[in-house]
Structure 1
Amino acid sequence: MFRSFIARVYWACSRWTLSTNPAPTQPSILIGAPHTSNWDFVVMLAITWRLKIRTHWLGKDSLFRGWRGPIMRALGGIPVDRSNPQGLVADIVARRKAGEVFSLVVTPEGTRGAGKYWKSGFYRIAREADMPVVLGYVDRTTMTSGLGVTVKLTGDVVADMTRVRDFYADKAGMRPQFRTEPRLREEDIAAPTAG
């Protein structure tokens, strides 16, 4: 109730408009993109709290040090040890297979600065835990934010990510110059070479 109230107040006072598909009916991976500002985190929490989605979210382990740790965990945070990302995927999949019910907010750009690739952990978790991927967004051009289409990943990484790219093609983050194109390193490996 408290989170829902905070979210209603946020959306009533925000210059952003919540324009969203309904909340997913099953535990899902919720993508937060484009991830170009610290405010993206606040907006994604406001979306999930407003839609009453039980979520966890991933954050770099430095956010969980000292006095911030208990607060971040109370907000649903799971620390990411970037030196061992494979352990994180295994942990999330194990939680889901053990029957824990939650959706997971992921910012696959991995940083607020422009990069070449998205991190592929969300893709591996979705496939291994059999969770659909809901494409959440922040779009500065329309000043809207919310949850968009749901994608059931097929394992064809190029085809799956083409659908993701198509959705985000017209979305600009809060700081568009820091946007990373939705592309996984695995696509370059999977793509056939010419000649």
Structure 2
Amino acid sequence: MRTLSGYILTNILGWKIKGEFPVLKKSVVIFAPHTSYWDGFYGKLYLMQLGINYKFLSKKEFFKFPLKYFFQIFGSIPVDNTKEYIDYVAGLFNNSTELHIVLSPEGHLAKVTRWKKGYYYMANRANVPIIVGYIDYRKKEIGIKKVICNPTDISIVRKEIAELYSDVCAKYPENFSHELKV
């Protein structure tokens, strides 16, 4: 069924949707590259048309008046970079019948040489798969690259994810390193 957000994304804005979102009740969804606030806009349109229960992880600094109301409506929850936060997210999964946690593993818009590892630890602790989503501005594509069903070895997962993003073009390519240590 086509939704208004899907119509806007594909017909008005000219984007293509690639890959099927898997039939899963729970997952950690990573979206990269993240070099622009537009990524969140396109990602929101994409996720809205899927009809899944999701929450975005956003910087806790955004949750101050008046922006906090926008981010709450947007479906965001604030990130706290502590080890206890991993347990908090695992608890969200345990207390939900359906939930997809969406995040950008880069952690911010500026160029990084190493991704944060929270996405891996959240998936592992909650025993849920990692869905590798992407947004490619050169091809005007947004979608899913792969599902990593059993993320038990971080070094294998990181290598596989780096290979999946090797041909993806960010809005600001100078801020996305293909030699990234994910």
> What TM-score do you get using the length of structure 2 for normalisation?
0.90
Instruction: Indicate the residue corresponding to 1:34 in structure 2.
Output: 33
3-state SS in 2 of match to 1:149: strand
3-state SS in 1 of match to 2:9: helix
Aligned letter for 2:181? R
1:85 Cα shift? Answer: 2.7
**What's the Cα RMSD here?**
1.9
Question: Partners in 2 of 1:37 and 1:15 — Cα distance?
Answer: 18
3-state SS in 2 of match to 1:123: helix
Is 1:150 the counterpart of 2:147? The answer is: yes
3-state SS in 1 of match to 2:55: strand
- Listed one character per residue, the Cα deviations across residues 47-75 of structure 1 (whole Å, up to 9, x for unaligned) are 11111121001001121110221221122
1:76-91 mapped onto 2 (5 Å cutoff)? 76-81=75-80, 84-91=81-88
Determine if contact 1:23/1:51 at 8 Å carries over to the other structure: no
Instruction: Indicate the residue corresponding to 1:48 in structure 2.
Output: 47
Extract structure 1 runs of 4+ deviating beyond 3 A: none
Aligned letter for 2:29? L
Determine if contact 1:126/1:153 at 8 Å carries over to the other structure: no
Q: From 153, 174, 181, give the equivalent of 2:171.
A: 174
Instruction: Indicate the residue corresponding to 1:69 in structure 2.
Output: 68
3-state SS in 1 of match to 2:144: strand
3-state SS in 2 of match to 1:28: strand
Question: Partners in 2 of 1:46 and 1:23 — Cα distance?
Answer: 17
The more displaced of 42-51 and 123-132 is 42-51
Question: Against the structure 1 CA distance between its residues 78 and 27, is the aligned structure 2 distance closer, same or farther, given a 3 Å change threshold?
Answer: same
Instruction: Indicate the residue corresponding to 1:12 in structure 2.
Output: 11
Instruction: Indicate the residue corresponding to 2:112 in structure 1.
Output: 115
- Percentage of pairs with the same residue: 23
The more displaced of 85-94 and 175-184 is 175-184
Instruction: Indicate the residue corresponding to 2:136 in structure 1.
Output: 139
Q: From 80, 85, 103, give the equivalent of 1:106.
A: 103
Determine if contact 2:25/2:97 at 8 Å carries over to the other structure: no
Gaps of 5+ in 2: none
1:32 Cα shift? Answer: 0.8
- Listed one character per residue, the Cα deviations across residues 109-151 of structure 1 (whole Å, up to 9, x for unaligned) are 0111111110111100000001111111011232211122101
Question: Partners in 2 of 1:100 and 1:78 — Cα distance?
Answer: 18
Is 1:160 the counterpart of 2:157? The answer is: yes
Determine if contact 2:26/2:128 at 8 Å carries over to the other structure: yes
